[in-house]
Amino acid sequence: MRGAGRNQQSRAKQPGKPSRPQGPQGSRDGGRREAGSGGGRGQDRYAAAAGRGGAGKASVRKERGGGAPSFAREGREAQGRPGRPTAGGAGGGPRADRSGSPGQAVPPAAYLKLGRRKGDWMEFRVPEGLAGAPIPQVLKHTPLVPKLAHKLLQAKGVVLQGTNLRLQLFAREKRDFPSDWMELNVLYEDDFTLVVNKPSGYEVHPSEKGQRHTLAHAVAAYYEMTNQDVRIRHIHRIDKETTGPVLYAKNEFAHYQYDKEMREKKIERIYLALAEGELPQDKGTINLPIGQDRHHSTRRRVSETGDPAITHYEVVQRYEGYTLVRLRLETGRTHQIRVHMAAIGHPLAGDGLYGGKRAVISRQALHGERLIWHHPWTGERLTARAPLPEDFEAALAKLEKK
């Protein structure tokens, strides 16, 4: 390994090597099911159905300000104040509806606390101050946007009896993909959310009619085996050969909230990549627009007429001829990290499409290390971490021996 000849000041700036994610405690907390070893009987059912026993270590936790990467956005907002809603407009909460319909903005502190699920329904305790209030007035104290609130009212999915509010948030749905069994590494799951660690070689969803054996088909099989009548709703995508967390919404409410978070750039994706060459700077930002390569249907390229694309990076470790970097996406363009790193003269190892060589790994060395999002009802900040896949670890081990 090179670097022994670098001065002390340069070494001091470099972040440490990526830590191997630690396994969770396997507890159930407020309906949350955490992946990993251990846990109670309810969790054992999910672990057995998903075939997670040998899938590697993974963890999910509430973020409380510690252990965050040293990117600039990891500040006060990223720490996730309890009870902070993610619904509605920029002022917090659903946008005001002057007609007085459900979903009018209310102070975040007045939102109903997350209730208890009973079958297709979730039950909430209404404060005594709202007892006897009309249903539309009570619904203003939820993060439901007017469109979803009206839809529930029309479908008779709202029942208010005294201080007990019931919402049919989990109506049974027909799974929209046929099931294809695959060992699935579930990093996180609760009533609203599923996060799956995608392996290399699988597309998130079909790219052509009739295609099978994608991650969507595997998630459909998981829902079927765990008796969940849920549609497949992926919130974002990663490339076929890239590994790491993929976020799914398990009902219409969560889907709306997560789509909104994506548009507002509140869902963060942290990646690890092995780039060719030794980056001269310890940190940097690549701000180059990306567009379609008109000479190659599957390639993207930096183009003045392309869409804005911003990638932040920091060096984790330098090797002889390679650099391990941690990256955060501010935008989510197709092949963004691969195009940006190639554009600055450091294509990813193994990425033949963008000029990388396959001396240490046979695919692009890109892994989703961490996914950060907010609970759709409570706004609680959550993080799922995915372990490095074996081929990526083997590439690093090979470089460490040089």
**Secondary structure (DSSP) of 153-181:** HHTT-EEEETTEEEE-TT-----SS----
Largest CA distance in the chain: 74
What is the C-alpha separation between 137 and 131, in angstroms, rounded? Answer: 11
Residues 183 and 52: beta-carbon distance below 8 Å: yes
What is the C-alpha separation between 123 and 167, in angstroms, rounded? Answer: 7
Residues 325 and 200: beta-carbon distance below 8 Å: no
- Clarify whether 307 is annotated catalytic: no
The secondary structure of 314-363, three-state, reads EEEEEECCEEEEEEEECCCCCCHHHHHHHHCCCCECCCHHHCCCCCCCCC
Q: Is 345 exposed, middle or buried (0-12, 13-18, 19+ CB in 10 A)?
A: exposed
Which of the following is catalytic: 239, 293, 307, 351? Answer: 239
Residues 114 and 30: beta-carbon distance below 8 Å: yes
Instruction: Catalogue the active-site residues.
Output: 239
